Structure 1
Amino acid sequence: MDSITLQQSIKHPFNLLKFTFVIVPIVAGLDKFTNLLTDWTQYINPAFLEMLPFSGSTFMMIVGIIEIIAGVIVLIKTELGGYIVAAWLTLIALTLLGEFNFIDVAVRDFVMAISAFSMGRFAKFIS
């Protein structure tokens, strides 16, 4: 398969992944300020929460800002953004593994991390 055919065959899945990893982090990040989708503080590992010098709500607002920035980076520099989002989701999944109530969410975040990493790799082939 030549490079032009490869680009054409991955263009639509790549664009779908890019759209997803621009919108979802920005929406999730904004929701850290409103908690309309969920109470995000419930996902903070209690051991980690005890180490914070501020409230869980404040921590989640910081997380929200990071997520919004990550979504914007995916839009502007997709390869780099894909790797950042993949690393971010992996860290979130690892912290969730400490809470047996959220193993399903941790697995979902690992799968999303793999998707974000794949998008970053695909970005090398899309001009």
Structure 2
Amino acid sequence: MTSTTASLPGTRSQRGTDRAYRLLRTVFTVAPVAFGLDKFAGLLTDWEQYLAPWVDDLVPGTAHQAMLAVGVIEVVAGVAVAVAPRFGALLVAGWLAGIIINLVSMGAYYDVALRDFGLLVGALALATLAFDRHQAQV
């Protein structure tokens, strides 16, 4: 397939790009909202264990209150991806970078930090696809 036909609407390449975009947009809408809401429910884990002591010292209140604020931010980030994926995906990527720094600075949870790095790359891929879609519509 030539580069000319690969960019035409309705081609196999375009359909694959559209599917990837929808999949990433769905995941980066649902996951932050689900994890954010779980900061209030506490069903998945004890979220406070993932808060670096130096971060806990910086923010006012208790670690639990900090994680509730994190939950609100995660819900907002998920909604932002749903409403404005170009910017919401960048917000999620930035948020994931902060989580990675927090975890690595603890000297623990490197496995979670590595997983979050993969998610960060996925969020950047979504942002790239969203910006391309926007440019194509303009």
User: What range is the shorter-chain TM-score in?
Assistant: over 0.9
Question: Which of 65, 73, 84 pairs up with 1:77?
Answer: 84
**Given the alignment of the two structures, is residue 33 of structure 1 paired with residue 46 of structure 2, yes or no?**
no
Q: CA deviation at 1:3?
A: 4.4
CA RMSD of aligned residues (A): 1.3
Q: Which residue of 1 aligns with 2:21?
A: 14
Query: Would you say the 8 A contact 1:83–1:116 is kept in 2?
Result: yes
SS of equivalent residue, structure 2 residue 40: helix
Moved over 3 A (4+): none
Question: Secondary structure at the residue paired with 2:45?
Answer: coil
Per the alignment, residue 110 of structure 1 pairs with 117
Of structures 1 and 2, the larger Rg is shown by 2
Contact 1:7 1:125 in 2 (8 A): no
The one of the two structures with greater contact order (alpha-carbon pairs below 8 A, sep at least 6) is: 1
How high is the TM-score relative to the length of structure 1?
A: 0.93
Aligned match of 1:91: 98
Alpha-carbon distance between aligned partners in 1 of 2:8 and 2:40, rounded to the nearest angstrom:
44
Write the distance in 2 (CA, Å) between the matches of 1:3 and 1:73: 29
Q: Distance in 2 between matches of 1:3 and 1:57?
A: 51
What secondary structure is seen at the aligned counterpart in 2 of 1:101?
Answer: coil
Q: Deviations over 1:79-115 (max 9, x none)?
A: 1111110010011101110122211111111110110
Percentage of identical aligned residues = 35
| Residue of structure 1 aligned with 2:108, choices 81, 89, 101 | 101
The answer to whether 1:65 aligns with 2:72 is: yes
> Structure 2: which amino acid aligns with 1:2?
S
Among 55, 61, 75, the residue aligned to 2:62:
55
**Are 2:18 and 1:2 aligned?**
no
